[in-house]
Each structure stands twice: as structure tokens, then as C-alpha cells.
Amino acid sequence: MRIKSVTPMSVSYPEPNDNNNTRYLTFCRIEAEDGTVGWGEAITQFPEVARPIGMLIEGLAPQLVGCDPLDNVAIWRKLRQHTWWYSYRGGMAAFAISAIDIALWDLKGKILGQPLVQLLGGAVRERLPVIASTHAFKPSLEEEAERHGRYVREEGYQGVKIGFGKRGEARLGYDFDRDVTFMRLLREAVGAKGDIMIDRGQSLVWDLGHAIKLTNALEEYGLRWIEEPLEPSDIEGFRKLRLHVKTLIATGEREWTADAFQRLIATGIVDVVGCDPGRAEGITGTRKVIEHVEAADVWFNAHAWSSAIVTAASLALSASSPRCLVFELKPIRNPMQHELVTTPFEQHDGWIDVPMEPGLGVDVQESVLEKYRL
Ligand SMILES: [Mg+2]
């Protein structure tokens, strides 16, 4: 079997979980000579990068056409070797490699008739606990606490992860007293058992003293983890932070490559390693990250806040390791989860099943990609 074609496709779409902000993704469609198709994704986010990643995939395509898609890891190595000149230790080529690599794993699974999780060596767990991962954007704290409480009380999610400092009028992350009030309201709304995670948006500038004081205050209401309370590069700040807080510390999502994750984990400052397969060189790159996570006995957390393609890849990767705490889903229906595939991913009573159909286990609707085409 040989690869016949490699085709990028970028989209723009409104994301209701992000205050209807327009988001941009770049997909990759790889077709084998028998007509079997694999799909991949890069979480490019912005138009100025979605377009060039499409061009980059087109430029790399001749290196794939004619290759055996079952040699996917060898192809991944070849692409990394080729792109080092403009993407050493990460950068834009990591997006292109991510989309191509995910598509190749999907294609391989479809050709062999095996689900991705089996190609990765098998599921440690057949289902994963699910939290609702959202941004707060309404001005009323009571309203936002109640909305997130409903995800747990009524929809069954096992917890919520909320981004502070995001678009909209919630203005969370700017005022200590207001943030603590929100946490109190949120705990009341979520109930005693639900997980609560807080993620500092990068528009917020906190210093070490504030990060310690706020994390300590939020801990009083049962904080499961604090995500990137300081700039991820501030390793010394994180070191000092963890001497003063009890909660788990999450970071990692800005890294591109497994060796960067290895260096981050080696600092000893991270408990929950955030990693997006649509950015960190695909499934092949993320598997390597998980190996580092497992060696250090920390936790892996897929940054799967994009389309159903990255969700499918993240589910298989997360289920392949015992070091996954929870799985994040966006709670509000959205085009790239609920329109893109015929059977969208849903949680049931706080759990999600790992796809067991061949490849990624999703049926991509090309008409939806046309509808949102950039
Ligand atoms: Mg985050």
C-alpha cells in the first residue's frame, strides 16, 4: 500500500466555549492508493499561521507520496530530520508534523482494521473520567458559578476546569477577593465532590506572591490543580511556589517537542503535564512525552480543546497510560466537535469511552470542512 495524496485544509469557525471567538485549525487528509483516508489536525488557532501550515504540509507532501503508510514512525523521523533547519526544538513545522502524523496513524489503523489505542499497545483503561473544560465569560459570578455547577450536578461531569483572564466580561484573575468569592460560589454550585481546576490565561500577569496567596486561598475550597499560575519559563518561580502550596501544579502546553517536555519534567516543578497532540508533533511525539511522564511518576493531561480529531487521538493516548487523571471536554456544543464527525464524543455520567473503531474511530464529514473552509 502506498500514499497517493496529502492535502491540507484549514478552517475558521466560531467557538461557543470561547465566547464565540473565531478559531482556526489546519487539517491534513492523507489518501492511500486504495482510497482509504486518514485525518490529522494541527491546532493552529490563528489565521496567520493556519495558512502557512497548509502550505508547509503541501511542501512536505512529495516526501510522503509513494511511501508505505504503515511506516508512519519512520516518516515522522524523516520529516523531523528534514525540518530541523527551520524548526529545531519546535515551532511551526511541529504543527505540520502533528497534522501529518495523526493522519498517518488514522490511516494505519484503518488499513490494519485496528483502533489507535491498540496500535499504541492497548488500553490501560476502557473509559476515562471527564471534566468540563471551559472559559468564564459572563459578568455575573453567580451566573458563571451556577452554569459550571450545572455541568457537574445535572450533566454528570466529574469536575470543571475554568480559564481565568479569557475573552468576555467575567474579568476573573484580576482581583484577589473577587476570585476567591467566585471559587466559594463555584464550590457551592459544583458540590463537595466535583473537581475544580483553575487555569491562568496568558493575558493575566501574576507575580509569585500573588500566585502563592491566591492558590492557598483557592485550596481552602478544594482546588485539584492550578494551571500555569506563572509564566511557564519561570522555573525558579514554580520551584518556590510549590514549597508553599499543596495543590497539583499543571504546565507544559507551550512546549513543542518530547525533549523539551523531558527537560521540563526533569526540573521537578510539574505534577500535571499538559500536552496537545495537535502541536507536540502528533501521536508519535506525544507517546514520547507520555514515556517521560511515566518515568517521572507525574500525570499526563491532554490539551484536547479543539476538534474531534485531536480528541480521538488524545483519548487513545490517555487511555494507553496509567498516568492520566482526567479527560477534558468542551461542554457547549460546537462545530468542530458536533458537526465535523457523524458520531460526536459525549460523556455519560462523567465517563467517556475510548474509541474502538479502526484508526481514530471518527467519521469526518468533508462537507463540514468545506462549509468552514478558510
Ligand atoms: Mg491551559
pLDDT band at 168 (very low <50, low <70, confident <90, very high): confident
Domains of the chain: 3-113+365-371 (3.30.390.10), 118-353 (3.20.20.120)
pLDDT on residue 231: 96
Is pLDDT of 137 > 90? no
pLDDT tens for each residue of 263-282: 999 999 999 999 999 999 99
Separation of CA 37 and ligand 1 centre (Å): 31
Residue reference for cell 478559531: 23
Please spell the DSSP secondary structure of 65-119, one letter per residue: TTS-GGGHHHHHHHHHHHHHHHHTTSSHHHHHHHHHHHHHHHHHHHHHT-BHHHH
pLDDT tens for each residue of 71-86: 999 999 999 999 999 9
pLDDT tens for each residue of 5-24: 999 999 999 999 998 999 99
Report DSSP state, residue 362.
-
Report DSSP state, residue 245.
-
Q: Are 115 and 358 in contact (CB under 8 A)?
A: yes
pLDDT tens for each residue of 298-341: 999 999 999 999 999 999 999 999 999 999 999 999 999 999 99
Q: 105-127 b/e with 16+ CB inside 10 Å = b?
A: bbbbbbbeeebbbbbbeebeeeb
Determine the Cα–Cα distance for residues 130 and 102; give it in Å rounded to an integer. 23
pLDDT on residue 147: 95
Separation of CA 330 and ligand 1 centre (Å): 13
pLDDT tens for each residue of 26-72: 999 999 999 999 999 999 999 999 999 999 999 999 999 999 999 99
Separation of CA 229 and ligand 1 centre (Å): 10
Separation of CA 136 and ligand 1 centre (Å): 13
> What average pLDDT does this structure show over 135-146?
93
Separation of CA 172 and ligand 1 centre (Å): 15
pLDDT on residue 202: 87
Separation of CA 253 and ligand 1 centre (Å): 7
